[in-house]
Structures are given as structure tokens and as C-alpha cells.
Chain A
Amino acid sequence: MIILWIMFVMLALYLIRVLKGPTIWDRLLGMNLISTKIIVVIIVFASLYETTFLLDFAIVYALMGFVSTIFIALFLSERKLGRKRGKK
């Protein structure tokens, strides 16, 4: 299906964003976006082959993917990693 190819192109673009992103939060944003696109890929596969049990994996990714993102963001909020705007 064509949705899969669009999703893969989007995954590649997000990987570029992750590699390029000037700050660490851009990378974190890319990670979150990739985890949600992976959920879409699994849903598309489950819909193609009419298999219900693949949707369990989508729920697992939805519930577990966010934990690491939120935890990294919380830990980074203590540290002064920010690029000050004035010094640019």
C-alpha cells in the first residue's frame, strides 16, 4: 500500500531531523515522532493482513515509547544544556 511508503519516507526525513537538529530537544522530538510513525506502520500492516493481534504491539509501543521520551525530557530539564540565544 502507498501509505507504507509515505511512512517510510517520513521515517527517513525524521532521521535526518534527528541527525541535523541543532539542539537536543529537536532530537528528542524526532524520536517521539519516529515512535508514533512506527505505530502507524504496525496499524497499516494489521489492516492489510486482517490480523488483530498485531494491534497489541501498537498499544505496547504507545504505552512504552512515551516513557523514555518523558524521562529524558525530565532529566534534561535540570541541566543547563540550552544554547543561549544571545550568544549565537
Chain B
Amino acid sequence: MEINALFILWIISGLFIVFESRLYRIIIYFGIFSLISSVVYLFLGAPDVAMAEAGISAFTTVFFIIFVGKYYGNQTNITREKIEINQFFRKLKGITLPFVFCAGLFALYIYTMPDTAASTYLKEWYLSNFISDVGGKNAVTAILLAYRVYDTLFEALILVVSVVAVVHMSHFSDSSVSDGHHSEIENSGMAVFTLRIICPIIVLFGGYLVVNGHISAGGGFQGGLAVATFFICRYMVYNIYDISVKRVMQLEELIFLSIILLSIIAVFLGAAALLPTAYLPMFQRAYLILMNVFIGLKVACGFFILFYRYIAFERR
């Protein structure tokens, strides 16, 4: 009941984005929109997605503000093409309107259908078997790391590929950053002091999310994002660019290789069958924790590289 009010706020904040034309404002509206949407995901019963969305919202707003700052510099009124409401509906005329019409009809059809239970045998099978098959207490982690591990490998590959693409396509020379200082922003002493206190807490909490991922909500991706925010804080404290991106990239590819090897040994070859049954729960737990730790490290490295590249990219 209370959640419906949250839905209305969610939709309103989405409409803010559509009918706004100034870019700085759009970024702030987008931050609000993704904050509210992550709470909505949480209360609709998808805690892992909600936690991932919380991290992603922080990173997307940071990336967007970097882009806008880099490309438009000191211009004050940056606008995109303004959308009036009339114009908005005029644009809908072509292909979009029949598409929306068909989608509405389809939704109506589904809504008026008699209540026949959809076949959920797969879900029930997962829920009844995952504790004995995979171990752990979080069914999402079980599906992610054991039943659908092939998908997870490709998702990990997507992050690696995007990092490689960003690193190779952005203009960047090491000589421009050799003096260290990268920003004209002077941090106040208070901010530096406080961020130094908060940085270890962030790393600790990210480690907690990663290691605890098979028991409660969280996991590799979410914990990796939390660890990666540590690097943003570190940049804000020291204002320098002193970590070699190349080394971190090698580390990330090494971790990716070890993820593939681990999943091949544990899932595809079925190493659990070789063990005596007494050791099976220990092996399963070790597999889940190791896999989560590797994925978390990889995500942290990947987002760290993206952030540093965007910060250093064509700095004026």
C-alpha cells in the first residue's frame, strides 16, 4: 500500500528527466530517479538488483558529470534539444504510436486474462534443489554462479571488453600526468580528514558484501562496486593520478582467466564428484566464496580503470 506512493514519486522523477533540457539538471534528476528506483526494486523483492542499482547510480552520475564537465567546460547554460510537450507527441506519430498502441492492447489482454497460474516448475525446482546442489542460502547467487555460470562468464567478458575499448580509444599520454596533479580543485582540510576516516569503512563493507554474498543479499558485483567507490574517494583525497592503469589491466585479465579456470574445474568438469561426500559442503562454500571474491576484484579493477581513464581523458 505504502509502496504505491513510492511508485508515483518514481514516475514523477522520471518525467522530470524527459522534460528538462539543461544538462546539469538532468544529471541531478537522474541521480534522484535511480535512487528511488533502487528502493522500488528492493520492495518489489529483488534485493540483489537493488544493491547493484545503488552502486551503479553513484557511478553513472559521477561519469556523466565528468563528461559534461570535460566537453562543455565553463559554459553555463548547456542545453540539449528542448522537448516541448506538443513536439513530444508530434514525434510519437511515426512508428512509435502504433507500437505503443499494440503494447497497450497486449497489456490490457494480459490484465484481463483469467487467473491461470503460470508454469513455475523451473523456479520451484531451483528453490527446492539449490541448497543441496550448490550450497549457500541465496538462490540468486546459486543461479548466478552454478546453474547459469556460462552467462556469468560472458557478463564478465563484457566488462573486460568495455575496459579494453575505453583504454584503447581514449586519447591519453603518460607525460601529461607525470607531475601528479590532475585537478584544479583544492580540497578543504576537513573533507580530506573525513574521507580518510570513511575510506577504510567503505573497503571493509565491500569486503563484507563480497564474502557474505552466498548467505544474504549482495555478491561479487555489488561488493566490487563498493570497493571501486573507494578509489573515487582516494582520488578526491589526494587529487593525483599515480596508479599505473596498465598494471591494473593486467591484473584484471589475470583475474578473469582465473574465474574461467575456476568455473571450468568446479562446474563443467564436475570436480565435486571426485571428493568424498563429507567434504562436499565445504567444497561448495569455498567455490562460492572464491568465485565471489574473484568477481568482486575484477569489477573493482574494471570500474577503477574506467574512472581513472575518464578523469584523465583529454584534460584541458
Asked whether the complex places CB atoms of A and B closer than 8 A, the reply is yes
Chain A interface residues (CB < 8 Å from chain B): 4-5, 8, 11-12, 15, 18-19, 24, 27-28, 30-31, 34-35, 38, 41-42, 45, 53-54, 56-57, 59-61, 63-65, 67-72, 74-81
Which residue of the partner chain, among A60, A69, A72, A78, contacts B51 with CB atoms under 8 Å? Answer: A60
Binary per-residue interface labels of chain B (241-256) against chain A in the complex, 1 for a CB within 8 Å, 0 otherwise = 0000000000000000
Docked complex: B67-97 residues within 8 A CB-CB of A: 69, 73-74, 76
**B216 at interface, CB cutoff 8 A:** yes
Which residue of the partner chain, among B9, B187, B233, contacts A67 with CB atoms under 8 Å? Answer: B233
Residues of A within 8 A of B66 (CB): 75
Residues of B within 8 A of A38 (CB): 35-36, 39
The complex places the Cα of A6 from the Cα of B51 at a distance, in Å, of: 25
**B229 at interface, CB cutoff 8 A:** yes
Docked complex: B35-54 residues within 8 A CB-CB of A: 35-36, 38-39, 42-43, 47, 50-51, 54
Which residue of the partner chain, among A34, A41, A56, A80, contacts B32 with CB atoms under 8 Å? Answer: A34
Q: Which residue of B lies closest to A53 (CB)?
A: B216
Residues of A within 8 A of B191 (CB): 70
B35 touches A65 (CB 8 A): yes
**B152 at interface, CB cutoff 8 A:** no
Residues of B within 8 A of A19 (CB): 16
- Which of A8, A34, A67 gathers the greatest number of chain B CB atoms within 10 Å? A67
A71 touches B65 (CB 8 A): yes
Q: Which residue of B lies closest to A27 (CB)?
A: B28
Residues of A within 8 A of B201 (CB): 63
Which residue of the partner chain, among B47, B69, B76, contacts A57 with CB atoms under 8 Å? Answer: B47
The complex places the Cα of A58 from the Cα of B81 at a distance, in Å, of: 37
Q: Which residue of B lies closest to A11 (CB)?
A: B9
B54 touches A64 (CB 8 A): yes
Which residue of the partner chain, among B5, B32, B226, contacts A63 with CB atoms under 8 Å? Answer: B226
> B249: shortest Cβ distance to chain A, in Å?
23
The complex places the Cα of A64 from the Cα of B36 at a distance, in Å, of: 14
**B313 at interface, CB cutoff 8 A:** no
Chain B interface size, as a band, is 35 or more
Chain B interface residues (CB < 8 Å from chain A): 2, 5-6, 9, 12-13, 16, 24-25, 27-29, 31-32, 35-36, 38-39, 42-43, 47, 50-51, 54-55, 57-58, 61-62, 65-66, 69, 73-74, 76, 184-185, 187, 191, 198, 201-202, 205, 209, 216-218, 222, 225-226, 229, 232-233, 236
B55 touches A60 (CB 8 A): yes
> B142: shortest Cβ distance to chain A, in Å?
17
> B230: shortest Cβ distance to chain A, in Å?
10
The complex places the Cα of A28 from the Cα of B27 at a distance, in Å, of: 10
Q: Which residue of A lies closest to B68 (CB)?
A: A75
10 A-B pairs (CB sep. < 8 Å): A8-B5, A34-B36, A41-B39, A45-B43, A56-B209, A61-B38, A65-B35, A68-B58, A68-B65, A76-B24
- Contact A35-B35, Cβ < 8 Å, known A27-B25, A68-B61: yes
Given contacts A4-B2, A30-B28, A75-B66, 16 further A-B contacts (CB under 8 A): A8-B6, A18-B29, A19-B16, A24-B25, A27-B25, A53-B47, A54-B42, A56-B209, A56-B217, A57-B51, A61-B35, A63-B205, A68-B31, A68-B58, A72-B31, A72-B65
